[in-house]
Amino acid sequence: MIVAKAWRGKRYAVLGLARSGVATVRALVAGGASVVAWDSDEARRDEILPGTGRGTSSAGGGGIVPGVALADAPLHHQPAAGGPPPRAGEDLIVAPLDDLSAFDAFVVSPGVPLNTHPLAAAARVAGVPVVGDIELFAQARADLPPHKVVGITGTNGKSTTTALVHHILKTAGIPTLMGGNIGLPILEQEALPEGGVYVLELSSYQIDLTQTLDCDVAVLLNVTPDHLDRYDGFEGYAASKARLFAMQSAEHDAVIGIGDAPSAQIARGLSAKGEHLTKIAPGVCMDQSSWPTLQGPHNAQNALAAIAVVKALGVSEVDIDRGLVSFTGLPHRMEQIASYGGVAYVDDSKATNPESTAPALAAFDRVHWIVGGRAKGDDLDACKPAFGHVVHAYTIGEAGPKFAEILKDSMPVENVGTLDAAVRAAAANAKPGDTVLLSPACASFDQFRDYEARGAAFRAAVESLA
């Protein structure tokens, strides 16, 4: 795992024990830090340290649990109240967090809303830095073999571009790891050898929790309205994305898509970078015929950004071409999962807003569109230019009735309610050459754990047709 000498002897409070939180605890303890951790989910508390799920250290919720190792360093539960304090580098306490003033930093999951969570406010009042695992990685860089870091952000296309850059680098024989928002905690991975490249997908939430990440190549794909409940309006969200470049050294490279006004404005603010700034203009014609998993205008933009990144890292044209052709894509992102009777079934469950759904609709000639879930806005305006590609729509979830009303004058539409019903209805109506497309333009949380569970349910429904 990745650790930093700078953590030794310091005290950290960690809130959130999902995968990245657990990786953070492991790395901090292995690096010689003392950690107090908490999660409101009892199962997660018990997973990291059995015996803590139904209580706290002071209340006798488990006692000493020897031999429970989350890392190479031993982890123990704090004794009952009045016992000795934990020894830095050896002990982990799982207990509710209240007074943060004694900690050197408060480490939170990106899912913790910094604008409303009381502990985030308490940390700011106490003058305790509020950081995430990406900032801890930035602090560890000085202790790693010489390497480079690529940071990729944007409202849409982050995961595909991150995976594509990683794949091209691997094709070129360059040691590389990807991590961050793509679902792979960077701290739990083994450090790369000299000359390696870390490729990080970064959400705005992760950037908010990062202060010192100086990316050798920083990428902004686009900025469209999203996550506005976490920011003081759209301008605040765009400003979060722009911070990725504010952390960069002047001589490091920036790649920015300028197809929307906020991104173009950010690019104008970086004009002093000169040759170290690459702008990706919209509507560039490219021959994508040999890139089977990179179809559609949105993937043309993702590919252009990835090409600019790897060129900045010195990858040859031959290796770039090989990587584009052999890229297999990512699950739940324009993923064709079956073809029955000449009808293709495509899982684009990762499209959780209208802006990310629009290019998916435009990528196919005749679409049976499954749309709906927990809406992030009140309209589907971003999708309107591609309405002509839709031969029938099937609305699901909380947004189903509202979306059916929005779409009824533009296309045949049925409010079917569930994903399984939508698949059956689409299969009954589709003709050879058509595409049944799950591209919901919504979050999944009304009916599913996450977009991955929604995609898995779509696959199961499609496979039941065989």
Supply the DSSP string of 277-320, one letter for each residue: EEEE-TT-----TT-TT--SHHHHHHHHHHHHHHHHTT--HHHH
Question: 217: which residues sit within 8 A by CB, 6+ positions away?
Answer: 148, 149, 150, 151, 252, 253, 254, 255, 309, 312, 313
**H or E stretch including 142?**
none
Place of tokens 């252009």: 304
Q: How far apart are CA 294 and CA 164, in angstroms?
A: 10
Q: And the tokens for 227?
A: 């996550």
Q: And the tokens for 138?
A: 């930035």
**Residue 319: CA count within 13 A, CB half-sphere:** 18
User: Among 76, 148, 156, 181, which one carries the catalytic annotation?
Assistant: 181
Environment class of 156 (CB within 10 Å of its CB; exposed 0-12, middle 13-18, buried 19+): buried
User: Among 10, 77, 147, 158, which one carries the catalytic annotation?
Assistant: 158
User: Among 117, 170, 227, 276, which one carries the catalytic annotation?
Assistant: 227
Q: And the tokens for 150?
A: 């690529």
The closest of 71, 32, 72, 79 to 48, measured between CA atoms, is 71
Secondary structure of 73-111 as H, E, C letters = CCECCCCCCCCCCCCCCCCEEECCCCCCCCCCEEEECCC
The answer to whether the Cα torsion of 321, 274, 241, 352 is positive or negative is negative
Q: How far apart are CA 400 and CA 27, in angstroms?
A: 44
Q: Is 348 in contact with 444 (CB distance < 8 Å)?
A: no
Q: And the tokens for 16?
A: 């959130």
DSSP designation for 190: P
Residue 464: how many other CB atoms lie within 10 Å: 11
181 is catalytic: yes
117 is catalytic: no
Q: Is 220 in contact with 279 (CB distance < 8 Å)?
A: no
429 is catalytic: no
Question: 165: which residues sit within 8 A by CB, 6+ positions away?
Answer: 150, 152, 178, 199, 306, 309, 310
Q: How far apart are CA 231 and CA 115, in angstroms?
A: 7
Supply the DSSP string of 311-375, one letter for each residue: HHTT--HHHHHHHHHH----TTSSEEEEEETTEEEEE-TT--SHHHHHHHHHT-SSEEEEEESB-
Active site residues: 158, 181, 227
